[in-house]
Chain A
């Protein structure tokens, strides 16, 4: 007879976690108001959308939205480049491997964590109030957005670099900054490039919706047509966006394979 080892008792996390998760699920569904009555009534409105959504006005969209779509792409390019390059030095300060001073480490780390908690569109709203409506607010919002993601990803990568080269550089007389520049930076550059392309894709997606709060780009046109329920004008714009997003993604996948 084979001795089967006993199954370990469930941990405290499982005992509390499962009922809590189930309770939260039930409670959430009640809270978001899954009300069949309303749903049925609103379901009759579906023609409002479906009639127009699948009847796209292509000429109108191409004529009116292509300039805005270009603006969207420009916002994403500028913001992801600036955001990522601002994040590059910051992440060295926010990593234990390259910053031994606990206080500055904690300050940079919590600064990056803090800007990560604010959603991209909240940034856009705040910047539209601060610097005025228009694409500049969108650029600033996406700079914060990409800076936060790059900071987190990159500082965690720096945490796990090989410390040997850093020590070697210091042993041969390099100052701390010099050592970081010559032996830590080259180690993370491939990661930086990969993250940059990833963040650029995220920015392209995020920049589409910036216009909803007046921060420039194609979202502005979507927002004005949405108010008038002109889904026949929105649907071709959405298709245009999809084509642009997918094309840019393919380009970035190709570039990633080329570089890395």
Chain B
């Protein structure tokens, strides 16, 4: 049987990528002084930590401290997402090249790229001396970062719309503003709302971490308990956080599915 050969440049590319991956990982591992033995001994060390966490510290005092902190992370994530959603929505129209002017769209996109490049934590500690220790800093950091990411995603949704409805509005005498309100927004709203919820899920993880620099949330609790070697309580912090994230993820995913699929309407 004759099996056709792969074209040469594809084979070359394949070897090139393999070499790139192997060389890249060896270079990195040697630079970081990481040996295979360290990987092999790591699981047993992690196991020691896990066993130290159990039984969890479920005393009333621990719960009273931890649960409000986890709640705070939730509120930071939600408030940050709302800030991101409110500001990114108009910005995304400016950034979409089929709705806004070409030069305008390019400039807005660059601004969004720059905003997106700063991780939340970096934003948080630059804001920290200005807005003070506490959840407000975290909220602003999460919010600003969300403007960047949501703006990019939403503008891409707007760029992908069906131009048909816009044309029919124009041909029946609608203004540019009518086109926006009756042609663009109804088309993009479901996808954009589901992106907001998706961002909320991501922000929840980000806000849990923010406490590390003192910007509110559960992160400070975890790092303190780990520093003081109070592993049962650190375990409780972890478990409560995981539970909260799981619950929120499940609810949010269900709502997103419903928004995208739509409700069955009996006519």
Q: Which A residues contact B (CB, under 8 angstroms)?
A: 5, 8, 11, 13, 17, 24-25, 27-29, 31-35, 38-39, 42-43, 45-46, 48-49, 53, 70-71, 73-75, 77-78, 81-82, 113-114, 117-122, 125-127, 129-131, 135-136, 139-140, 205-206, 208-209, 212-213, 216, 222, 226, 229, 231, 234, 238, 242, 245-246, 258-259
* Given A77-B25, A209-B119, A213-B212: A45 touches B130 (CB 8 Å cut-off): yes
A136 contacts across to B, CB distance below 8 A: 32, 34, 38, 42
One digit per residue, 1 when the CB lies within 8 angstroms of any chain A CB and 0 when it does not, for chain B 26-57 equals: 01110110100010001001101100000000
* Given A31-B72, A33-B136, A120-B209: A129 touches B49 (CB 8 Å cut-off): yes
In the bound complex, how far is the Cα of B42 from the Cα of A140, in angstroms?
Answer: 9
CB distance from B27 to the nearest CB of A (A): 7
B122 contacts across to A, CB distance below 8 A: 208-209, 222, 238
* Given A28-B78, A140-B42: A114 touches B31 (CB 8 Å cut-off): no
In the bound complex, how far is the Cα of B125 from the Cα of A48, in angstroms?
Answer: 12
B158 at the interface (CB under 8 A from A): no
CB distance from A149 to the nearest CB of B (A): 11
In the bound complex, how far is the Cα of B27 from the Cα of A17, in angstroms?
Answer: 52
CB distance from A87 to the nearest CB of B (A): 15
CB distance from B81 to the nearest CB of A (A): 9
- In-complex Cβ contact of A121 among B34, B74, B76, B209 (8 A): B209
B242 contacts across to A, CB distance below 8 A: 114, 117-118
Does the CB pair B49–A130 fall under 8 Å? yes
A-B residue pairs in contact (CB < 8 Å), sample of 17: A25-B82, A31-B135, A32-B75, A32-B134, A32-B139, A42-B132, A49-B126, A49-B129, A49-B130, A74-B28, A82-B25, A119-B206, A126-B238, A130-B42, A130-B49, A136-B32, A245-B117
B183 at the interface (CB under 8 A from A): no
B213 contacts across to A, CB distance below 8 A: 212, 226
CB distance from A225 to the nearest CB of B (A): 10
In the bound complex, how far is the Cα of B71 from the Cα of A222, in angstroms?
Answer: 29
In the bound complex, how far is the Cα of B246 from the Cα of A71, in angstroms?
Answer: 33
| Residue among A119, A222, A226, A242 with most chain B CB within 10 A | A119
In the bound complex, how far is the Cα of B119 from the Cα of A73, in angstroms?
Answer: 16
Does the CB pair A28–B75 fall under 8 Å? yes
CB distance from B25 to the nearest CB of A (A): 5
In the bound complex, how far is the Cα of B48 from the Cα of A45, in angstroms?
Answer: 45
**Considering the complex of A and B, which 6 residue pairs feature the smallest CB-CB distances, nearest first?**
A74-B28, A78-B28, A28-B75, A119-B205, A32-B135, A31-B75
Q: Which B residues contact A (CB, under 8 angstroms)?
A: 13, 17, 21, 24-25, 27-29, 31-32, 34, 38, 42, 45-46, 48-49, 71-72, 74-76, 78-79, 82, 114, 117-119, 121-122, 125-126, 129-132, 134-136, 138-139, 205-206, 208-209, 212-213, 216, 219, 222-223, 226, 238, 241-242, 245-246, 249, 255, 258, 263, 265, 267
Q: List the B residue with the shortest CB-CB distance to A119.
A: B205
In the bound complex, how far is the Cα of B119 from the Cα of A229, in angstroms?
Answer: 19
Does the CB pair B129–A127 fall under 8 Å? no
Q: List the B residue with the shortest CB-CB distance to A126.
A: B49
CB distance from A83 to the nearest CB of B (A): 11
B241 contacts across to A, CB distance below 8 A: 117-118, 122
CB distance from A14 to the nearest CB of B (A): 9
Q: List the B residue with the shortest CB-CB distance to A74.
A: B28
Does the CB pair A212–B121 fall under 8 Å? yes
In the bound complex, how far is the Cα of B42 from the Cα of A139, in angstroms?
Answer: 12
Does the CB pair B135–A216 fall under 8 Å? no
In the bound complex, how far is the Cα of B126 from the Cα of A46, in angstroms?
Answer: 10
In the bound complex, how far is the Cα of B226 from the Cα of A213, in angstroms?
Answer: 11
CB distance from A62 to the nearest CB of B (A): 19
B114 contacts across to A, CB distance below 8 A: 242
In the bound complex, how far is the Cα of B4 from the Cα of A59, in angstroms?
Answer: 58
* Given A28-B75, A32-B135, A136-B32: A78 touches B25 (CB 8 Å cut-off): yes
* Given A122-B208, A139-B32, A245-B117: A32 touches B132 (CB 8 Å cut-off): no
Q: Other CB < 8 Å A-B pairs besides A32-B134, A206-B119, 17 of them?
A: A17-B255, A29-B82, A32-B76, A32-B136, A33-B135, A34-B136, A39-B131, A39-B136, A43-B130, A78-B28, A118-B238, A131-B38, A139-B32, A205-B119, A212-B121, A216-B32, A238-B122
Does the CB pair A81–B46 fall under 8 Å? no
Does the CB pair A71–B48 fall under 8 Å? no
Q: List the B residue with the shortest CB-CB distance to A33.
A: B136
In the bound complex, how far is the Cα of B267 from the Cα of A252, in angstroms?
Answer: 49
A82 contacts across to B, CB distance below 8 A: 25
